[in-house]
Amino acid sequence: MVSCPICGKSVSSLKINDHIDSECQSFVDEPSSSSETPAPKASVPSFFQPTSARKASAQANGQRDQNGDSSPLRNANGKRTTHDPPEANGRPRNEQPTEPKKPKISALQKAAPLPERMRPRTLDDVCGQELVGPNGVLRGLIEQDRVPSMILWGGPGTGKTTIARVIATMVGSRFVEINSTSTGVAECKKIFADAKSELGLTGRKTIIFCDEIHRFSKSQQDVFLGPVESGQVTLVGATTENPSFKVQSALLSRCRTFTLSKLTDDDIRSILQRALRVEGPSYSPTELVDDELINYLASFADGDARTSLNLLELAMDLSKRPGITTEEIKRSLTKTLVYDRAGDQHYDTISAFHKSLRGSDPDAALYYLARMIQSGEDPLYIARRLIVVASEDIGLADNSMLTLAISTHAAVEKIGLPEARINLAHATVAMALSKKSTRSYRGLNNAFAALGEPGVAGLPIPIHLRNAPTRLMKELGYGKEYKYNPNYIDGEVAQEYLPEKLRGRQFLEDRDLGDRVDPDLR
């Protein structure tokens, strides 16, 4: 037998949980003899008492106060400390009604940057994403409490973390945030065990939010497979990279992928205007923070809500400086481009640069070159691509471009940025304006295609073309009938070079470029 920690009654140790669940009304062990005196009840803090017990205790205390018992409102002589009798609503007559107190803001909330303070708390506040709009697919799943494991793919500042946190509050699930830098396999397994216990005891699901999931190692991603497939946890992963390349196919098949749209300038403007309405009175910005500056910040942010709010916070601080102008505020803002040297932007931009050179558009090529240099791309990486362009796209049309490309690479390697940008621009414009020929490149591709045919890759080398370094090979006739071209006028001889099965086959075409006509030119 044990004593209940709430009511002090004697209860069987096997029934103590059932006794507490019944609000201390059932499963009480009655004394066997009426002569026995029941043990006095232990004094239990009201925090641990059930609701019914706290109400009964409050009523008893009120009754004792009316009967003249001790009360915190009475002094040592037993008199009430308040001279005026209370009114019916409990407020003294001489006390004036006060306004409701504003909720206190913690130091942590004050220290949070503007994007965190302005983070939406409901799906209605999320801007620019049709997925969670009134008719959005994801919103319908959330409202039906059928949230699947998912991957949210979108650019920075599009609302991936916000949507994950709103999902957790709407479905009433336990929310756990992890990241690849500090969460290992052992910690993940502990989270899964806690989630399983929580689901078994309370029926509450656990949502694990993993930001930048593409940075998780293979072993970290593998550990999610079982719990996600069994429904033990709901995984919400966020990534700025293409999940088809960065997330394992086994984990990707267990999740639904939702693509978040890039925010438009109008979306960014509405976000900034909302921030001004909410936070403006605290900052008291001057008239310099007007619609013109808001439009500038919206276009400069390039679809990143976090960047726009950070810039707005900086602009509101700068506007208080005496004598500062709008143009000075614009120049003071951090100039960052949305470009990830290791992500899709890296490959997309260099691809656009190469294709602009191939299309003989020097203006577009210079734009992408400047964009890569401004964003911190490795200049040697750009120079290596120019070497490829010199042979792949210009080729036989201008053999000097390969020499120029290699010289450009050497120049960039020797002097570095910022001066090397001039060498890169020189080679870029020259290659964009050069004639183009893909004869050699296409010829090589044709030869590779022939190797894919049955029996072609292993054809014997003609015996007169074989090397004969040993006596045995010479006796076998290796190289015996070979005609050394420099010994003949103009080097012309009647001699076959291809294997017998491929004789007459032509890999190098006569045209420098193709023969198709673009219908848009007409």
Check if the beta carbon of residue 361 is closer than 8 Å to that of residue 432: yes
* Mean pLDDT computed over every residue of the chain: 78
Average of per-residue pLDDT across 221-229? 88
Q: How far is CA 245 from each of CA 156, 178, 235, 240, 256, rounded to the nearest angstrom?
A: 18, 21, 19, 12, 15
Q: How far is CA 466 from each of CA 196, 327, 469, 497, 499, rounded to the nearest angstrom?
A: 71, 75, 10, 11, 12
| Tens digits of residue pLDDT in 413-431 | 999 888 999 999 999 999 9
DSSP 373: H
Half-sphere CA count of 391, side-chain side, radius 13 A: 11
Question: Which CATH number is associated with domain 265-332?
Answer: 1.10.8
How far is Cα 290 from Cα 493, in angstroms, rounded to an integer? 82
**In terms of C-beta density within 10 A (0-12 exposed, 13-18 middle, 19 or more buried), how is residue 269 classed?**
buried
Question: Which CATH number is associated with domain 129-259?
Answer: 3.40.50.300
Q: If phi over 0 gives left and psi between -120 and 50 gives alpha, with beta otherwise, what is residue 22?
A: alpha
Domain with CATH 3.40.50.300 in the chain: 129-259
Lowest mean pLDDT among 183-192, 259-268, 281-290: 281-290
Higher per-residue pLDDT: 17 or 105: 17
| Tens digits of residue pLDDT in 133-144 | 888 888 888 888
Average of per-residue pLDDT across 205-232? 86
Percent of the chain scoring above 70 in pLDDT: 81
Q: Is the pLDDT of residue 147 over 80?
A: yes
Average of per-residue pLDDT across 19-42? 62
Average of per-residue pLDDT across 457-486? 81
Other C-beta atoms closer than 10 Å to the C-beta of 501 total: 11
Percent of the chain scoring above 90 in pLDDT: 13
Helix (H, G, I), strand (E, B) or coil at 210: strand
Q: Look at the block and give the residue holding tokens 């983070």.
A: 119
Higher per-residue pLDDT: 72 or 407: 407
Q: Is the pLDDT of residue 59 over 80?
A: no
Domain with CATH 1.10.8 in the chain: 265-332
**In terms of C-beta density within 10 A (0-12 exposed, 13-18 middle, 19 or more buried), how is residue 316 classed?**
buried
Residue 283, pLDDT score: 67
Helix (H, G, I), strand (E, B) or coil at 129: coil
Check if the beta carbon of residue 22 is closer than 8 Å to that of residue 28: no
How far is Cα 221 from Cα 215, in angstroms, rounded to an integer? 10
| Tens digits of residue pLDDT in 227-278 | 888 888 888 988 888 888 788 888 888 888 888 888 888 888 888 888 888 8
Check if the beta carbon of residue 389 is closer than 8 Å to that of residue 366: no
Q: Is the pLDDT of residue 100 over 80?
A: no
- Global pTM reads 0.54
Question: Which CATH number is associated with domain 344-437?
Answer: 1.20.272.10
| Tens digits of residue pLDDT in 334-362 | 554 445 555 557 778 888 899 999 989 99
Q: Is the pLDDT of residue 410 over 80?
A: yes
Lowest mean pLDDT among 77-86, 167-176, 318-327, 416-425: 77-86
The highest-confidence range among 149-153, 168-172, 382-386, by mean pLDDT, is 382-386
Residue 405, pLDDT score: 95
Domain with CATH 1.20.272.10 in the chain: 344-437
Lowest mean pLDDT among 78-82, 149-153, 373-377, 397-401: 78-82
Q: Which of the four pLDDT bands, split at 50, 70 and 90, describes residue 86?
A: very low
Average of per-residue pLDDT across 397-413? 94
Q: Got the DSSP string for 166-186?
A: HHHHHHT-EEEEEETTT--HH
Q: Which of the four pLDDT bands, split at 50, 70 and 90, describes residue 108?
A: low
Residue 110, pLDDT score: 63
Higher per-residue pLDDT: 230 or 323: 230
Q: Which two tokens stand for residue 174?
A: 């336990």
Q: Is the pLDDT of residue 84 over 60?
A: no
How far is Cα 51 from Cα 265, in angstroms, rounded to an integer? 53
Other C-beta atoms closer than 10 Å to the C-beta of 43 total: 6
Q: Across the chain, which distance is largest between two alpha carbons, in Å?
A: 136
